[in-house]
Each structure stands twice: as C-alpha cells, then as structure tokens.
Amino acid sequence: MKKLLFIISIATLAACQPSPNLDGVAEKPAVADLLSAIQLKGDSTKVVLTDYFPDNKVVDSITIPDFFRYSYSPDSASITLVANNLNLPPLSIIQVWVKGNERYDLLVRKSKKLPVAFTFDPEGKKVKSVQLAGQINDWNPNATSLTFDGKVFRTTLLLNPGKYHYQVVVNGKWMLDPANPLKEDNGMGGQNSVVEVGNLKPNMLPKLVALTAHKNILNIKATGTVDSIIVLWQNYLLTGNFIKRDGDVFHVTLPRNAEEYSRSYIRVWAYNEFGESNDLLIPLEGCRVVEDPGKLTRSDKHTQVMYFLMVDRFNNGTTANDRKVDDPEILPKANYFGGDLVGVTQKIKDGYFTSLGINTIWLSPITQNPLGAWGLYPNPRTKFSGYHGYWPVSLTKIDFRYGTDGDLRELIDEAHSRNMNVILDYVANHIHVEHPLYKQHPDWTTSLYLPDGSLNTERWDEYRLTTWFDVFLPTLDLQRPEVYEPMTDTALYWLTNFQLDGFRHDATKHIHENFWRRLTQKIKLKVTDRSIYQIGETYGSRELVASYIGSGMLDSQFDFNIYDASVAAFARSNYPFSSLNSSLLESFSYFGWNNLMGYISGNQDRGRFISYAGGALRFDEDAKKAGWTRDIGVGDTSAYSKLCMLNAFNLTIPGVPTIYYGDEFGMPGGNDPDNRRMMKFDNLSPIENRTLDVVKKLVNLRRNTMALNYGNFETLLADSTQYAYARTYLQSSAIVVFNKSDEDKSIIFKLPDYMVGRNFTSKFGSNSSIQNQIVKVDLKPNSFEILISK
C-alpha cells in the first residue's frame, strides 16, 4: 500500500492528541504494504524473507517465540520454522528487526491439517494399482498411490478441514469409492465420492465485528470466548494501553503514527481453544476510521468492481486497423471482429462504465499475435486466428489490430480521469512458435515430448509446470534465472512505460514460483508511485490457489471453486444454498475474510451462465461443441432472474466482484468461441434492460455501502432454497436474502444481537419486517433482496 505524507491540520492533530506514538515505526518504513500471514505447512515451513522485505539486506535480526525452532539460510535469504504443535496457539507473532530499531510484526497461522486414512479392498480381485484423484490432489492420480499391505490398499494424507470430492482409480479406471457411502453431484451430470475432514465447530469460534468508532477509538465486539486478540496497525502489533477490554468489547486506540498516512489499516484476529475467528480490516484516514464511502479511492484495492472485456469483441472504434486473417480454413466465429483500444476508450468517454459503476477495467491481452491460422477444431472443421490475444509473437509490441502505444495511453488517461483502474491480461507462461525468442533461445522452453515419447500437451495437472497448451505454443521454463530474469523485465515494461494499475496473470499455476517472486520483487522496488494489483488464474484446489498468494507473490486469484458452486446454486434446483455457503466459508479459511479474490459472473473459458440457467445449455454436454453446432440462446426467461441473483451474490460477498462483458444484461452462448460474441450496446430487449438496471443498482450499492466493502460476514440462514447473510462495518449494515425456489417465500431468520435497533430499508422493493429480533422478508421465486442500514 502506498504511503503518502500530508500536512496535518490543527483539527486533526487535536483529535488525535490523546493517542500515544507506537515505538519501532520508521518515518520512511522499509515496507509500505500490508504483510501477509505466514501459513505453517506441517512439520516445517520455509519463509522467504524477500517476500516480505524486497531488499533483504535491510533485515538485521528476527525474534522467534519459544514454541518454534528455526534455522536461517543466508544463501536463499530464508528461515525455516519448525513448530511444536502441542504448544503452538492458532495465531502467533514473530518479529523482524530492520535497520537497527525498525520493527515488523508478522502473523503466523498454525497448520490445521489432519491425518485422513483411505483404504481400498480388492476383495480377492487382481489389482495392480490403486490411486486417488480429486480435490485432495488437483485431480492428478499420479500424485497419490495407495500401498498394498497384503490385504488392502491404504494411504494416509494430511488435509485441511473441509469437504473434498474425489474418485478411486483402480488399474486406470475411475470409480466412486466403494467403501464410502457419501457422494455428491459433480456439477457435470455425474457424481463424486466425498470426504469431510475435521470435526468443525463453527459456533464455538469467536466472531468479531467493528461496532463503533469515535475520534481515535475503535470499538470491536467479540461473540463467544476469546482467549487472545491480535491487533495490527499496518505491520505493527498493538499492545498495552492501545487495547482495553470491557467484557466482550475491545477498545482500540489508534496510534498517533497514523496521522502521517492518508491511508493505513487496522487488522484484527482473535482465537480460542477451537480455533481462530474471522479477521477484520479497517481503513483509516489519518487518525480516524473511514466511515464515508466517498473517501474511498480507486487505490483502495478492496473496493474494486472489475469488468472483464475481450478487446476484439467489445467495440470497433476505428475500421482503419481492421484485418481479419485471410484464410478460408477459419470460420467467422474464430476470426477477428474488429474491436480495438479506441473502441474501449469511446465507451469510457460515453460513460458506459461510469453508469455501470465499474472502477477497474480488465483488458484481454493486447500484444502482437500471429497473422496466420493455427490450431484445429474437428467438427465443424476450423482453424483459429489469435483474436483473443493469448498467442504472443511479441511481448512488448501492441497488436496493430488493437491499436498503438498512444491508443493505450489515451485509454488509461481517460479511465484514470474518471477514477477507474486499468489492469492488463499478461501472458507469461508461453509464446507462439513465430516469436523471435523461440528461434533465438529454443532451449528456454520445456520439452514438447515426455521421456516416454508422448506429447506433453494439455497435461494440466500431471505435468503442471512443463506442459504445452498446444504444439505451437512453447512453454517457457520459468524456474531458470536465465529465463525468468528477462521475462520479468518484459512484464515490468508494461508498468514502467504505461500507467497501468496491475495485471491479470494467465495460466498462473503453470508457472514456477521463482518467476512470481522475482516479478513481484521488481514491482515493489521499481514501481513505487502507485498501488499495483496482481490477480492470477488457477484452476485447482484452494491449497494450490493459495500457494501463489501472499507477500512476495500475487495479491489474489480468481476463486473458481466458488464460481462452480455459485453457478450450481443459482442455475440448478438440486444444488442447495447450504453447500454454497459451506464452500464460501472454506474459501474464507484459506484466503481470509477480507480477501482480494476475484468472484466472477463468467469468463472466456466457460459457457455463459444465463444459457445454463435457462436450460439452453446443459451441464452434462460439451459446451464448446454446443456453441459450434447450434444457436445457443437463453432458454427459459427465469434465467434473467437467476443471473441477477448470481450478480447480487458476487457483489455482496467479500472479494473483488468481476463482471464478464455481457453478463450485465444476459448475453447467451456456449463455450469458446461462442461465449465471446460481439458486445451489444443497443437494441436491448425489455428484459435485458431490466437486468442491466438491476446490475447497475447492485454495483452502485456495493460502491456506496461500507459494509459491502469492509464488513464482516455472518451466515444467518442457509438451506436448500433459502439463503441469508449479513455484513456490518460500524454503523453500516447489509442483509442479503435469496429465494431460489419456484414459489413465493417468506424468508425468516434471527437478527444478530449487535444489529438490534438498526433501521433497515429494502433496496429492491420486497416487503420486510423486524419484530423481536426476527426478520421476515417476502420474496418472489428466483429473487433476492438487500436490506441496508446506515
């Protein structure tokens, strides 16, 4: 987070006068970002110091609590922590001393992993191999083999608490686990076995809420037993007179040091014998808690509402740069449509994004792509152009079909003048065979062939870091310094030559962590004039996704596990809200309750939600083939209401809500390339216009409600067809309620104690009432309501 010094007014100084200064805070700290927690990983955990301190030479010493043993490696600038889990609390602090007397306090989270045994009884049959494949190992059977003990095959895995889908692979054949009666729909017309890990007692965990603030005092209410509370201002632990307890309320005095910051943060955690609470994130302006959403800026990452557009398919601003690939083997859907950067700028100027409430625009890749036809789809037979931008033949030159350097600068300037960020989709994993780099350094790529002679293409999980996406897309070997050094410099080019605000990184899980660490280190050292947001793309388990997030890596990734659960919950009648809620809480346990994860309405690799919701696209069919072989529409018009519910969900949970272009009104389609139709701005039908109006209202409600940006999250009701949750930040509260049944429903649930006495207004016209702490909201089929108290 960028630190800004400013002149302190006499009024502000007087307001913060009672606050003491916090010792160990430098006038110009070595680190301005909020440092992420260290997540312990079992027996030992390696902590790379350059993740936290890009210039690791500034580190003088480290103070480690007695319940850790540790070793220091000067070669890798890292420490290895070994924890005694019998004595280790759920949360603890280690201190890093920089430049003599400058102190930083790093939160440490205890590993929650538990041993889980799996067995398979061959029942006298001849069985050569038994493997597991599922969310436990990113569906890679080669990662988990069971050992035969003379009677049964068995293995024991260490897993975090949660629910895991899996299958048993016997002699190469996938099947449900015959020893496990628990199974669930897999979302694609089949079923998976399910294992639930841990005896979770969520009602026994402490819960925190930011209750009130007055001048330089922040009051935090705790529900349940609290053994200890941890409060950080920026990266400094507050203790002693900074925190006073009065029953279940903790009074936090903001340190006077905060006066020097236009934006800083209070972070809060608590724990008891059953585990840790939710966490709180409280933005400050000077020595005051921010309560007015009008004081939030586009640099406040948690307030982002993102819009993803594919440049070629959005708006054709000038026909002068139009150039389709002149090859009869390319069907029209797979060729260029003419969208360009000038077209995006026109829509910025026209006020399209402002009207929608968007403050972050995500552009698809814009580097030069090949001029010819590549790839092959069998039926109907077609090759493809590089209209999508993911086949780079240059890493620094803008594709002439999209525009020029000047066009990009104008787009960014126009966006910034309207308080919008612009982030660029960056392709680091691979290049096209026509890229000069491949001809100059063919040894910089991984091998196209595996040791057994088979092609290493589309082996997404088995050979995650080496697989090629296609035979004409060499994967760069980014674990090697001679490769990742120039490649990180190339990525940095876009931030140093253009005022971009960040990256969406393609194919994140296929790239070695060496690349991400070096890129982020360079950004922190060389791009110091603005806040940079990096979000990745990883399909896989939450553990894998989380491994790329944190100080020294990326800010976040897209949460596809929640996307899959939300699509199932809002589009299908047989997927209960209770499962969606459980999935969301599991994500919070990995990514935090105030995360920067991307929560999407759709993307360029999935069939359009509205077509699934309306029945025009089936979950058990090949959505890509469907898009080629028939005209995919919306289907039943109830899909528009379901799309509104999906958008309402994304826009009211913690994280960064992301709208895929066209999902603001209900653009239908199968999978790639049918989900990449040309954007439609005019001649919307009445129901499309109504959907667009709802989404506009949702986005602007999000942007103007503090509880929806920084509030806690508390589930109030979650069953098969009804869902309600609340978020509160000081005097701002929001209650979100869904009914996905095909009948009118009165949704009834209890109001949390700390919200009693607040007056709520229904923002979408439903009847609601609160009597004796019982809330009643009348909802029509497939609808939602948001109650707001300010």
Q: Does residue 6 surpass a pLDDT of 80?
A: no
Distance CA 685, CA 692 (A): 10
Q: What residue type is 770 in one-letter code? A: I
Distance CA 693, CA 11 (A): 42
In this predicted model, what pLDDT tens digit does every residue of 345-382 receive, in sequence order? 999 999 999 999 999 999 999 999 999 999 999 999 99
Helix (H) or strand (E) holding 510: none
Distance CA 448, CA 430 (A): 12
Distance CA 330, CA 382 (A): 5
Per CATH, the number for 114-159+162-197 is 2.60.40.10
Examine residue 668 and say whether the peptide bond preceding it is cis (omega within 30 degrees of 0).
no
Q: What residue type is 373 in one-letter code? A: A
The residue count of the chain comes to 790
CA 417 to chain centre: 27
Transcribe 556-597 into DSSP letters: EEB-HHHHHHHHHHHH-TTS-HHHHHHHHHHHHHHH-TT---
pLDDT for position 601: 99
pLDDT for position 275: 92
Distance CA 747, CA 717 (A): 9
Q: Which residues pair with 197 in a beta bridge?
A: 162
Q: What are phi and psi of 249, to 5 degrees?
A: -115, 135
pLDDT for position 17: 53
Q: Does residue 655 surpass a pLDDT of 50?
A: yes
Q: What residue type is 621 in one-letter code? A: E
**What is the fold, at CATH topology level, of the domain defined by 559-704?**
TIM Barrel (3.20.20)
pLDDT bucket at 11, cuts 50 / 70 / 90: very low
DSSP symbol at 498: S
CA 676 to chain centre: 22
Q: 3-class SS at 13?
A: helix
Distance CA 571, CA 668 (A): 14
CA atoms lying within 13 Å on the CB side of residue 133:
19
Tell me the average pLDDT across 21-47: 90
Q: Pick 122 or 188 by higher pLDDT.
A: 122
Pairing of strands 78-83, 68-73: antiparallel
Tell me the average pLDDT across 87-100: 92
CA dihedral 355, 357, 360, 366 (to 10 degrees): -30
Q: Which two tokens stand for residue 399?
A: 């594709």
pLDDT for position 16: 52
In this predicted model, what pLDDT tens digit does every residue of 211-226 receive, in sequence order? 999 999 999 999 999 9
pLDDT for position 594: 98
pLDDT for position 14: 40
- Asked if 601 and 663 touch (Cβ cutoff 8 Å), the reply is yes
Distance CA 696, CA 701 (A): 8
Question: Which residue stretches of 658-703 are H helix?
Answer: 686-703
Helix (H) or strand (E) holding 484: helix 481-497
In this predicted model, what pLDDT tens digit does every residue of 712-750 receive, in sequence order? 999 999 999 999 999 999 999 999 999 999 999 999 999
Q: What are phi and psi of 325, to 5 degrees?
A: -75, 120
Q: Which two tokens stand for residue 520?
A: 């982020």
Per CATH, the number for 10-111+203-290 is 2.60.40.10
Sorted by sequence, the CB contacts under 8 Å of residue 248 that are 6+ apart come out as: 221, 222, 223, 226
- Asked if 788 and 760 touch (Cβ cutoff 8 Å), the reply is yes
Distance CA 146, CA 163 (A): 21
Percent of the chain with pLDDT over 90: 90
Sorted by sequence, the CB contacts under 8 Å of residue 100 that are 6+ apart come out as: 60
pLDDT for position 8: 31
What pTM does this model have?
0.96
- Asked if 209 and 179 touch (Cβ cutoff 8 Å), the reply is no
Q: Does residue 13 surpass a pLDDT of 60?
A: no
In angstroms, the Cα distances linking 227 to 48, 62, 142, 224, 537 are 30, 26, 43, 10, 38
- Asked if 183 and 191 touch (Cβ cutoff 8 Å), the reply is yes
Sorted by sequence, the CB contacts under 8 Å of residue 357 that are 6+ apart come out as: 305, 696, 699, 700, 702, 703
Q: Which residues pair with 470 in a beta bridge?
A: 473
Compute the mean pLDDT over every residue in the chain, rounded to the nearest whole number: 95
- Asked if 310 and 339 touch (Cβ cutoff 8 Å), the reply is yes
**Edge-to-edge strand order for the sheet containing 249-253?**
207-214, 217-223, 249-253, 243-246
Q: Report which of 650, 545, 582 is spatially closest to residue 184, judged by C-alpha positions.
A: 582
pLDDT for position 750: 98
Distance CA 782, CA 643 (A): 10
Tell me the average pLDDT across 184-213: 89
Q: Pick 18 or 69 by higher pLDDT.
A: 69
Distance CA 40, CA 371 (A): 49
Q: Does residue 12 surpass a pLDDT of 70?
A: no
Crossing angle, helix 341-350 and helix 405-417, to 10 degrees? 20
Q: Which two tokens stand for residue 446?
A: 């991984």
pLDDT bucket at 4, cuts 50 / 70 / 90: very low
pLDDT for position 335: 99
- State the CATH architecture for 713-789: Sandwich (2.60)
pLDDT bucket at 63, cuts 50 / 70 / 90: very high
Q: Where are the domains of the chain?
A: 10-111+203-290, 114-159+162-197, 437-477, 559-704, 713-789
pLDDT for position 200: 67
pLDDT for position 420: 99
Q: Does residue 671 surpass a pLDDT of 80?
A: yes
Do the two domains 114-159+162-197 and 713-789 of this chain adopt the same fold? yes
In this predicted model, what pLDDT tens digit does every residue of 232-287 receive, in sequence order? 999 999 999 999 999 999 999 999 999 999 999 999 999 999 999 999 999 999 99
Helix (H) or strand (E) holding 783: strand 783-789
Sorted by sequence, the CB contacts under 8 Å of residue 771 that are 6+ apart come out as: none
Q: Within the chain, what is the greatest distance between any pair of CA atoms? A: 85
In this predicted model, what pLDDT tens digit does every residue of 328-338 receive, in sequence order? 999 999 999 99
Tell me the average pLDDT across 147-173: 96
- Asked if 97 and 63 touch (Cβ cutoff 8 Å), the reply is yes
